[in-house]
Amino acid sequence: MASEDVFADVCRACRLRYIKATERTDFNPAKMALSHEDSMQAPGQMDSNNGPLPYVCSLCEGILPALLDIDTVSAIATLIPPFDSKTLTLGIVLPSSVALNERSFQLYLSTQEPSDYATKPVVDVKDTAKLLLQQQLAPLVPYKLTTDSTLKATFTWCHDHTEDRCHVLEQLQPREFQARRQAKSKAKRAIVTSDIQRVFDKTDEETLRKYLKLPPPPPSQPAKQPEVEFYRASAYIGGRYNKYARDVPQSPWFIDGERKGRSSVEEVIREPLLALTNSRKANLISAGREDIDVRMLGQGRPFAMEMEVPLTATVTQAQLDDIQTAINAAQPDVQVRDLTLITSIEAVDALKASAESKRKSYSCPIWCSSLLTDEAIATFNQLGEVTIAQKTPVRVLHRRSLANRPRTIYSLKLSALDTPHFYMLELITQSGTYIKEFVHGDYGRTRPSVGDLLQCQADIVALDVMDVDFAWPPKENTNELEM
């Protein structure tokens, strides 16, 4: 067997990966009988074989010894909040420098005696870290650790020296990193394991030995404690909303830090649902949107609230009914109905698509420069289906691309109001039609406009959405629904 000197800067857990381990069960923490302290002693101390022990492992950068320390793992366990779940799947991300250390060390071993170190199967450092984490966490968390849970926790370790240590890869294969070198420092993407694999595959051994430090030197500090991110499929709670105020936008609206309007539809619905599901955040999805000064009447606009990473996995219809009652009682501007859990992602996709595919009904008082005769009104009402061309309105050009869109007006009905020059217009249109511009023409950018059809100047006074033609929400036949 080769001298233990080749493993002088390698922790015992990593030595085991290279020398003794033949199966994953060899990494049982109790069987290894290791602690953080006796795995990572100070420089100059000797192990039982009189070999020097590193302060920080040159391969795993101190991650494996830390996972063998119950106090460290107990601290990691506190990062996991109490999800309403019976199972949990663990994922890990190690510093890219660990993958570089591993490949460099294997190249170094190929020059040592006996040479079978270079070909002997090695237990992957990432697999080992994941196995140790799972074994140590299992008795500390209230979840069964599985490989197929809908709840996933990803632990990410970082090291301050990763960028500097991996810089040599750009020297070895500059073309592979051309875009990265040209990017501004803050926009540079991180070097990942696949980059390291690609560089080693494309570079001959002689060049690798010339540029790489063999064996890889131990870092002066261990990797940082991991950060954890949780993933759980979003939950969707849907219904319909009415908006009765002309100063409430659909979503929070700020210009130069100043709020426009009072609250928003999204905030009124979002906050109680966040409290119910303990979600990280919520996003409003709706079948189109109305301007801040437009009311949503009739049966209301279909919507779904996407609840991201909900801690609470189960809600009851009774809970949703209570929230609906509370929302409607708290303020008069936004009212909701038919609140229910949406369990089909296909239904949510259909809701998103409906914004551009469904018919919508509107009602709006308008002003006309001419006094219209009964005959003119009757002629207008008999127009039937009208196709118009709309350029992107001037008022939204700052946030929408310039385009010329055909839109269909399916029906038009005009009736006189008591005040001269004022009329009530009722219309059914294709989704995506700009109603205000259809009335006044938007400086000729919408053709024909209501003014063109009536052969006079026309302008809109107010606008109400009366109906959105979409069957929503889908009905669920259960009283308790799991996300």
By annotation, the residues acting in catalysis are 291
Beta bridge partners of 363: 426, 464
Cα–Cα–Cα angle for 162, 175, 59, rounded to 5 degrees: 25
What secondary structure, in 3-state letters, does 392-427 show? CCHHHCCCCCCCEEEEEEEEEEEEECCCCCEEEEEE
CB-CB contact of 356 with 432 (8 Å): yes
372: closest CA among 335, 425, 296, 306? 425
Cα gap 316→49, rounded to integer Å:
63
Cα gap 108→115, rounded to integer Å:
10
State the maximum Cα–Cα separation within the chain, in Å, rounded to a whole number: 108
209 Cβ contact partners less than 8 Å away, ≥ 6 residues apart: 107
CB-CB contact of 224 with 157 (8 Å): yes
Cα gap 98→198, rounded to integer Å:
16
Cα gap 282→407, rounded to integer Å:
32
10 Å Cβ neighbour count for 10?
A: 26
Cα gap 220→222, rounded to integer Å:
7
Cα gap 59→15, rounded to integer Å:
10
Handedness of CA 49, 54, 55, 58 (dihedral sign): negative
Virtual torsion, Cα 266, 267, 268, 274, nearest 10 deg: 100
The DSSP output letter for 158 is -
